[in-house]
């Protein structure tokens, strides 16, 4: 550790030099926020995706995720935090104005759903690519159940500008910035992120409770307690969304994704999407004339891999994500460990941007050793420990095979992040980054300040059902967003974009020249580049 500390200080000194620090102004962010549409009584909306919102297949800002009822709002890459927040709020406002009396569920764990068959699978039109997207979701339903797919999250997209990599790679690695070296640097960031990822659900986990319908018929050894009319909670949980009940699904526990190099990462993903699965073979072929999944391999496609972070490269039409990575390298990373913030009307709050920038730049500056299978499993074990009982004051984590109190490790991380925050503050001529770090540090000092603790304090203090709280917040947020002013988009522009997206979907549908069966055969027969 002393060698790593020495290397960190040397790398931090390079970061702090004005020529390099000035490039940090070019950090870009984008947000993807998921939200279930609900009826005023808190039940899942059964209505189809409203055409006034445009076509989910082709709209840039409003789409659907697994379910027709699970909206996803997307912002384009921007350097200005307030612009991103404003755009996200504008899109929320527009959506709420066009879904009648429905509201947006403000939590990660779903509302009360009596039967998973009530969760309608998202539809993307009559084109082959649209049918493929829906069939992929049918496969997810068969493999994991629809209830898991109704979980919502926030994805934080982050990229450093090429001007940063030009100087950083030259000064630190002695190499020029190209596809290979930049990808390797992003993968170094990713490895450190996975090592320290447990901190994210501790700070931002907001799902310590869930509606009892979520685990109906499931076997779980988690020692749930009951509150209200039947909501379940764990006293020290931070993010049940990230637990084995949620998106870190045990069905994928045997996958060992390699994050040491972009080539090994691609190879491990390609192996998973080309290896037949005995478990999923039962869904092979058609049932009543309809396919049940895209294929019976371990993963249908790359997107099925559940991971708290992904390396990303924008894809061209019908291009596989691994092909895009191989052809053009890593362009940005997608942080996927964030719960929806129930205390924000748009699911994320401003301070998170500044802290996550510090955290991710810290992951760049900290030397990053390759991962072994044991160190990979250690990151998984630490993450599970924090999502299930992260606010336990006696919680111990493991680093390099040695047990360490969580608070002690957090203190070491924050000491380094404070130094990174000073560089960011100096360059931007603000104090936002250091303030963000200190605000999050207070959650380490006092776990009652974490979102998960705040949610439980309300539920326990008022003996309130998780669903009741969700409906109250959803109604309040609909009212406040309806009264808000548009800042970057407006109703006319978003309406025009909706019409354009419908036209674009129609064009795709008219352009198909082969049957769906042939389309699928061609897609999966195609060999990786």
Q: Are 66 and 48 in contact (CB under 8 A)?
A: no
Report pLDDT for 266: 95
- Give φ, ψ of 404 to 5 degrees: -145, 140
CATH number for the segment(s) 8-526: 3.30.590.20
Burial of 464 (0-12, 13-18, 19+ CB in 10 A): middle
Q: Which percentage of the chain shows pLDDT scores above 90?
A: 86
- For the chain, the average pLDDT equals 94
Report pLDDT for 494: 97
CA atoms within 13 A of residue 231's CA, in its CB half-sphere: 27
Kindly indicate the confidence band of residue 228, based on its pLDDT and cuts at 50, 70 and 90. confident
Q: Are 325 and 299 in contact (CB under 8 A)?
A: no
One-character DSSP codes across 160-207: --HHHHHHHIIIIIS----HHHHHHHHHHHHHHHHHHTTHHHHHH--B
Q: Are 208 and 233 in contact (CB under 8 A)?
A: yes
Nearest to 91 by CA among 354, 345, 332: 345
pTM for this prediction: 0.96
Q: Are 24 and 73 in contact (CB under 8 A)?
A: no
Kindly indicate the confidence band of residue 222, based on its pLDDT and cuts at 50, 70 and 90. confident
Q: Is 529 a residue whose pLDDT tops 90?
A: no
Q: Which percentage of the chain shows pLDDT scores above 70?
A: 96
Q: Are 390 and 238 in contact (CB under 8 A)?
A: yes
Q: Is 118 a residue whose pLDDT tops 60?
A: yes
What tokens does 529 get? 């580049």
pLDDT digits (tens, 9 = 90+) for 232-277: 999 999 999 998 876 544 556 567 788 999 999 999 999 999 899 9
């Amino acid at each position: 550790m002393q060698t790593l500390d020495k290397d960190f200080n040397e790398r931090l000194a390079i970061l702090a030099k004005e020529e390099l620090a000035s490039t940090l102004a070019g950090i870009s962010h984008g947000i993807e926020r998921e939200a279930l549409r609900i009826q005023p009584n808190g039940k899942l909306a059964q209505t189809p995706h409203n055409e006034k919102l445009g076509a989910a297949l082709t709209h840039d800002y409003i789409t659907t995720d697994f379910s027709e009822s699970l909206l996803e709002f997307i912002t384009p890459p921007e350097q200005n935090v307030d612009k991103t927040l404003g755009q996200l709020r504008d899109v929320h406002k527009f959506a709420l104005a066009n879904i009648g009396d429905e509201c947006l569920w403000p939590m990660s764990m779903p509302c009360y759903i009596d039967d998973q068959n009530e969760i309608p699978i998202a539809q993307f039109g009559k084109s082959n690519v649209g049918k493929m997207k829906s069939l992929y979701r049918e496969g997810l339903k068969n493999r994991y159940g629809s209830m898991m797919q109704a979980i919502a999250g926030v994805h934080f997209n982050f990229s450093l500008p090429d001007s940063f990599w030009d100087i950083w790679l030259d000064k630190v690695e002695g190499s020029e910035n190209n596809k290979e070296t930049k990808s390797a640097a992003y993968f170094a960031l990713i490895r450190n992120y996975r090592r320290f990822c447990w901190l994210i659900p501790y700070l931002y986990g907001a799902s310590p409770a869930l509606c009892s319908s979520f685990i109906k018929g499931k076997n779980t050894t988690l020692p749930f307690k009951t509150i209200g009319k039947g909501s379940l909670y764990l006293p020290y949980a931070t993010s049940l969304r990230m637990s084995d009940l949620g998106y870190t699904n045990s069905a994928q526990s045997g996958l060992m994704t390699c994050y040491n190099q972009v080539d090994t990462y691609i190879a491990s993903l390609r192996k998973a999407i080309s290896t037949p699965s005995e478990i999923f073979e039962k869904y092979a072929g058609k049932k009543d004339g309809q396919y049940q999944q895209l294929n019976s391999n371990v993963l249908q496609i790359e997107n099925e891999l559940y991971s708290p972070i992904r390396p990303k490269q924008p894809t061209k039409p019908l291009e596989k994500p691994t092909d895009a990575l191989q052809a053009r390298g890593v362009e940005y990373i997608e942080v996927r460990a964030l719960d929806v913030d129930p205390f924000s009307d748009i699911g994320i709050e401003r301070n998170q941007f500044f802290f996550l920038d510090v955290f991710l730049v810290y992951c760049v500056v900290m030397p990053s050793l390759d991962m072994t299978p044991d160190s990979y499993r250690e990151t998984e074990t630490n993450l599970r420990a924090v999502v299930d009982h992260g606010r336990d004051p006696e919680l111990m984590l493991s680093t390099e095979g040695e047990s360490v109190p969580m608070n002690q490790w957090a203190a070491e991380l924050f000491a380094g992040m404070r130094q990174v925050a000073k560089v960011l503050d100096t360059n931007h001529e603000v104090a936002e980054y250091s303030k963000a770090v200190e605000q999050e540090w207070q959650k380490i000092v006092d776990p009652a300040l974490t979102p998960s603790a705040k949610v439980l304090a309300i539920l326990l203090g008022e003996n309130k059902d998780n669903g009741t709280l969700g409906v109250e917040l959803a109604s309040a947020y609909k009212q406040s967003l309806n009264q808000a002013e548009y800042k970057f988009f407006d109703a006319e522009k978003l309406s025009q974009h909706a019409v354009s997206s419908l036209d674009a979907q129609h064009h795709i549908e008219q352009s198909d020249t082969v049957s769906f069966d042939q389309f699928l055969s061609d897609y999966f027969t195609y060999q990786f580049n």
